[in-house]
Structure 1
Amino acid sequence: MKLRQRRFLPNLSLLMAFDAVMRNGSVTGAAQDLSLTQSTVSRLIQSLEQQLGQPLFIRHRKRLIPTEAAHRYVRDISQALDLIQRSSMSLIANPEGGTLDLAVLPTFGTRWLAPRLPDFLSVNPGVSVNLATRFTAFSFDAERFDAVIYFGRDDWPGAVHVKLFNERYTACAAPEFLRANPVARAEDLYDLVLLQLETRLTAWADWFQGQGAGAVPIRNGMLMDQFSMMIQAAISGLGVALLPDYLAQIEIAGGRLQPILRPAVPGTGAYWLACPAARQGLKPFQVFSNWITAQIAQEFSPAIPAAER
């Protein structure tokens, strides 16, 4: 086990005083936050500077002006304090299990994952899952997450990957829209408004090719950043949505949208579960990985040929 040097591990009270001063911009505000006197906060800051051997503030007319070093230092210290707090809260709330902090794509998280989490919690009562949405890639070193569910390729830096499923597209539109704009062949969509996700710029080309029409440029399109927004736009009759089949089926089953031509056309890219290699053996990740892959196999296998999984 690596020996930690106490010189580089300041007392928690020193770090909390430093963090509070940086957050509040003054000793007065920090003292109020920490329920301490201003003189106590000032002494704690001085003790931290002495231990580090570095000035963190410039004293000017009884004010503390952070140095550039202080601005760099507080970013790491604040993250460390947040991590300690979350870990302590997790231990108190769930002493026998563990917590998985999971980053997830917004629409996948709300429309597919969240409705199934009660099943996960019922079979894993000692494990809790915290969800937050992320659109773009991030560093596990800089963020608090234990794992991420994302779309793309198995290329997340420094991570181990579990493939969930390949993406397949289904074009669909509101029943009223299709009554006003009948579609009998792919070419009938050429002059309609095609709703497009900004992270899937080749999706419509894949869909047209899957319908035997070849890659067709979009003439009338609306660009969106979330599938949930696209779904609502299609339900409102703004145009034709091109959705991952698992999302399309939810709206089709509810009668809000109708499929167009051949459904579930193969696209490019897949959904992945990834976590840092150092955390793959932790219980929360292991049980969640086993559970979600079993769910995917049960729900997706009948519609997805084995060769495409």
Structure 2
Amino acid sequence: MRTPRRFLPSTALLSAFEAAARTGSVTLAARELSLTQSAVSRQIKLLEEQLEIELFARERQTIRLTAAGEAYAREIREALRKISTASFNLRANPRGGTLNLAILPTFGTRWLAPRLPKFLAQNPGITINLATRLTYFDFRTEALDAAIHFGARDWPSVEMACFRSEEVVPACSPELKTQYGFGTAGDLKQAPLLSISTRPNAWDKWFSAQNIGGGSGQTMYFDQFAIVAQAAMVGVGVALLPTFLIRDELSSGKLVRALNLPMESSERYYLVWPPDRSAHPPLVAFRDWLLAESATEA
């Protein structure tokens, strides 16, 4: 179904409106756009006529957004930003070799980033733009081609490929381990426990795997693994951490296993993407590389 033309104003009209809305001045908007004041005023008036909505209230020599204009300005500003970003990416790589990827912060910095030079060397011409996301989002409203997801196969309306599992272990500072003298899994309930807010039941699952019930005791929650790991290193408490993300800390002794009782997480790491991006060449190349790279660690 084709969108009526009145709902698809030209970018010239939208740019004039957005600049005036943002600066609150036709004069400043004209200066920014290298146009005359009358040209900007005329474009805004044409937009209002096309939409059949008053976007500005005129008061002598000043303008003020109406309620409708204020709401429209927010939407238009985001739309123009997306168009600008798409144009910039195309200019940077005329072959369309850009992958916009959402990543989990700690996974991105500790696992993916060190390996990206290898991918880029194998795939010259491809550009990767990274954005951090901690929770689900809607691909229809975000200009992203794919995302790294940890969890179950429960992200609706996407395609996905599982590329690795995860083992977690209770870890803490050497001093905290000495202070509490952990001997059994139940001893951990006497110490402060640290967890990430996106995995609120992680400790309950770990205690259950050790055949210990009754809840996980005193737990502090953080929003990122990097902060949890840092808190564990300085002795705040015991954290349940993925071993592949804390190898350096375990090797250096900044973190130690409170108990050598690892548990394989029931969740997995997935690469997810909207169906309409499935054949996007940079995504295909990245998907193939990610699966192969992860297989070498299996």
Structure 2 length-normalised TM: 0.91
Residue 158 of structure 1 aligns to a residue whose secondary structure is: coil
Per-residue CA deviations over 1:265-304 (Å, capped at 9, x if unaligned) read 02232222211111111011111111112122212x1xxx
Q: Is the 8 A contact 1:186 1:261 kept in 2?
A: yes
Per-residue CA deviations over 1:200-244 (Å, capped at 9, x if unaligned) read 11111111222x242342333221111100111111111111112
Question: What is the identity, as a one-letter code, of the residue corresponding to 2:293?
Answer: Q
In the TM superposition, what are the counterparts of 1:109-148 in structure 2 within 5 Å?
109-148=108-147
Aligned to 1:304: none
Q: Is the 8 A contact 2:194 2:239 kept in 1?
A: yes
Moved more, 38-47 or 228-237: 38-47
Per-residue CA deviations over 1:22-61 (Å, capped at 9, x if unaligned) read 2223323323332333322111111222233333222233
Q: Is the 8 A contact 2:82 2:143 kept in 1?
A: yes
What 5-or-longer segments of structure 1 have no aligned partner? 302-309
1-side partners of 2:259 and 2:90: how far apart? 52
Residue 102 of structure 2 aligns to a residue whose secondary structure is: strand
Aligned to 2:238: 240
Q: Is the 8 A contact 2:186 2:212 kept in 1?
A: no
What is the aligned-residue identity percentage? 45
Moved more, 164-173 or 101-110: 164-173
2:221 to 223, 231, 240: 223
2-side partners of 1:263 and 1:133: how far apart? 31
Aligned to 1:305: none
Aligned to 1:33: 32
Moved more, 159-168 or 3-12: 3-12
2-side partners of 1:43 and 1:27: how far apart? 10
Per-residue CA deviations over 1:43-91 (Å, capped at 9, x if unaligned) read 1111222233333222233333323433343344223322222222222
Structure 1 length-normalised TM: 0.88
Moved more, 88-97 or 287-296: 88-97
Q: Is the 8 A contact 1:186 1:213 kept in 2?
A: no
2-side partners of 1:6 and 1:205: how far apart? 57
Moved more, 103-112 or 66-75: 66-75
Q: Is the 8 A contact 1:102 1:131 kept in 2?
A: yes
Q: Is the 8 A contact 1:148 1:273 kept in 2?
A: yes
Q: Is the 8 A contact 2:57 2:64 kept in 1?
A: yes
1:214 to 212, 215, 220: 212
Aligned to 1:267: 265
Q: Note if 1:22 corresponds to 2:21.
A: yes
Q: CA RMSD in A?
A: 2.2
Question: What is the identity, as a one-letter code, of the residue corresponding to 2:85?
Answer: R
Moved more, 66-75 or 17-26: 66-75
2-side partners of 1:238 and 1:74: how far apart? 46
- Deviation of 1:6 (Å): 5.0
